[in-house]
Amino acid sequence: MKASDDIMSLKGIGEKTAKLFHKVGIYEIWQLIEYYPRDYQSFSKPVHLRDAKDGEEITAMLTLTTDFSFRKVKNLTLGTGKATDGEDLITLTYFNAPFLKSKLKKGCSYLFRGKLRRQKEQFHMDQPQIFTCEEYEAKMDHLQPCYRLTKGLTDHMVEKAVKQAFSYYDTEEFLPERLRQEYKLFSPAEARWKIHFPKSMEEMLKARNRLVFEEFFLFLIQIRQMKDYNDALETEYPMIETALPERVIEALPYQLTSAQQRVWQEIKQDLTSGKCMNRLIQGDVGSGKTILAFLALLLTVTNGYQGAMMAPTEILATQHFEQLCELTRKYDLPLKPVLLTGSLGSAAKKEVYAQIEQGKVNVIIGTHALIQEKVMYQKLGLVITDEQHRFGVRQREILGEKGGAAHVLVMSATPIPRTLAIILYGDLHLSAVDELPAGRMPIKNCVVGTSYRPKAYTFIFDQVRLGRQAYVICPMVEPSENDTLELQNVEDYGKMLRTKLPKDIRVEILHGKMKAADKKRIMEAFGRGDIDVLVSTTVIEVGINVPNATVMMVENAERFGLAQLHQLRGRIGRGKEQSYCIFINCSEKKQSQDRLQILNRSNDGFRIAEEDLKLRGPGDLFGIRQSGAMEFKVADIYQDAGLLSKISSLVDELLSQDHELEQAENEALKNYLSEQGKRKLIDFRSI
């Protein structure tokens, strides 16, 4: 049996259990090994009840003073029993567990682990775990892994499968020996075993260090090699400067900022150089990156080629398409745009496929549908990916491959500190649109506690009466929670808000589980002003443009990364009126307040990113993932920024001495990278 075999090859995993693992993205044995814990439980020594605080997770040795009694309460079977630790009595409660009647006997002692509730001088514990002395002692020897789960899948099931999977893990050391010795790194197998089953926090951190080192090292080597390859690549689509883009710039109702003009010159220089363009435009939300993309498409079309622009959502793709159509009509341009999204009917798709292949259209705007096998381009000279952090590297490569050696332009508003961006986007040449259009009023921000909600609702009401519109962003839902919770969350909040605001204020909801057509209908209605308040999840995070929306209220703001909050805030402040963003902080922790104050003080995404980087300490066990930033399995570009910088220098040194990895000490590394290329295991970055 091999690590690449199906998980159903493992003992105890049948079709039913396999489906549960599929829900969390596990299909093959190696994926089990790399399904790392999200957290750990430590099994500390049992304590006396009176020594524990209210709400504390504890283990106590308890002797049952009564048998358990069970009764029906609506649809629940409620079981209660009394126990003592020798000094105090406690009430134990279980739900839907009648089998415990035969397991728990009066006079017998067990270890109970759970959250303690103290009400006056009485103690309570609901649904505590039950252990014998032998079982608990075995668990005290190591940290207990906790995984991201789905309904029906338990930590025990994952742990059992992972232990089996290690019998088939055959990866040998591939890092150069001198690096492993210098940085005191575990072997690949040892690191993976100890990240799942560490005996101590220190051992877990050492295992994590190896995995972080490995992720950054492999990623940066591939990025550096990709850049060298791309820089040498002759384009199949040579271009010359044409007059039409400059005429459009002159005719625009606004003047391009000096930053936009500088970046446009860089794009033109790339496209007419004879080499393949591989450029990233980094610009804050609202800085005017889209017009630069449209100008690049116009230059491509006037040279006789097709251009494609891929957006992460149908809403944003439709918005780009409509804006480009408007530009084409207004300035009588030779652009023939078409929209290609997943929700198009099969007959309409076939028609669009034919138009693309026959060259009847020259600008194709869409979502992931642009990279499907059935899409054949006639002369795809330019590939633009908008909000690139939403796509994996492989998706960008597929679209690029459809155009042969096409030019690539990537646009991102993700505020990654420049010091990190230079390293992480190493395969691309960077351009910065670091200036906002003139006349934009800075957004006024406030970070407030939950007691401010009534005032916030009143403020939204006042703004709507002035003819403005508002967004209310619902709290995030953890990915490990029930999939339907996001839907319930936003729907319940929408119902509640309708009771808080006057009946004539039109409140609508929007969430990611909706059909594409419904999302489109709601966003179009909001854009027309037919909806006053839009209660939404983060589905509106990217690129939505409704200039009349001047208020945003973000619930549970402490649960979002600063980059995501800044992206969300970018949906307002797009018109001539003053805009306001209200961050509701539901945490009493000083760190949460400090982080949100960064947003309160500044509307500059890159300054926010730099300050956030300085403020971050060790973070969670596996770092705080910024939505829209790099997606590594273990590493965190903020938490591990120091190590990233060191490894960047190591990789530069290694490749300067042995660019093709031909030396004997680098042979294992070369072979490992080759194997990964075949299996496509690594897609570290989702820029």
Task: Label each residue of 396-450 as H, E or C.
Answer: HHHHHHHCCCCEEEEEECCCCCHHHHHHHCCCCEEEEECCCCCCCCCCEEEEECH
* Average of per-residue pLDDT values in the chain: 87
Binned at pLDDT 50, 70 and 90, residue 397 comes out as low
Q: Looking at residue 618, what is its pLDDT?
A: 32
Binned at pLDDT 50, 70 and 90, residue 579 comes out as very high
Q: Looking at residue 398, what is its pLDDT?
A: 62
Binned at pLDDT 50, 70 and 90, residue 648 comes out as very high
Taking the CA atoms of residue 93, residue 94, residue 99 and residue 101 in that order, the dihedral angle to the nearest 10 degrees is 10
Structure-token pair, residue 646: 């060191």
pLDDT tens-digit series, residues 301-326: 999 999 999 988 888 899 899 999 99
19: CB partners within 8 A, 6+ apart: none
pLDDT tens-digit series, residues 629-644: 456 889 988 788 889 9
Q: Is the CB of residue 114 less than 8 Å from the CB of residue 41?
A: no
DSSP 619-650: -STT-PPPTTS---SS--TTTTHHHHHHHHHH
Half-sphere exposure of 348 (CA within 13 A, CB side): 9
Pick the closest to residue 608 from 418, 470, 431, 459 (CA basis): 418
Q: How far apart are CA 470 and CA 458, in angstroms?
A: 12
Lowest mean pLDDT among 119-128, 425-434, 445-454: 425-434
- Read off the pLDDT of each residue in 73-90 and give the average, rounded to a whole number: 92
Residue 155 burial (CB count, 10 A): 14
Lowest mean pLDDT among 214-223, 300-309, 606-615: 606-615
- Read off the pLDDT of each residue in 266-281 and give the average, rounded to a whole number: 94
pLDDT tens-digit series, residues 551-574: 999 998 988 878 788 888 988 988
Q: Which pTM does this prediction carry?
A: 0.69
Pick the closest to residue 386 from 291, 507, 277, 275 (CA basis): 291
The answer, yes or no, to whether residue 505 has pLDDT greater than 80, is yes
The domains found in the chain, sorted by start residue, are 43-142 (2.40.50.140), 171-209+646-687 (no CATH), 233-433 (3.40.50.300), 444-602 (3.40.50.300)
Q: How far apart are CA 678 and CA 127, in angstroms?
A: 47
DSSP state of 273: S
Q: How far apart are CA 372 and CA 206, in angstroms?
A: 42
pLDDT tens-digit series, residues 336-349: 999 999 888 999 99
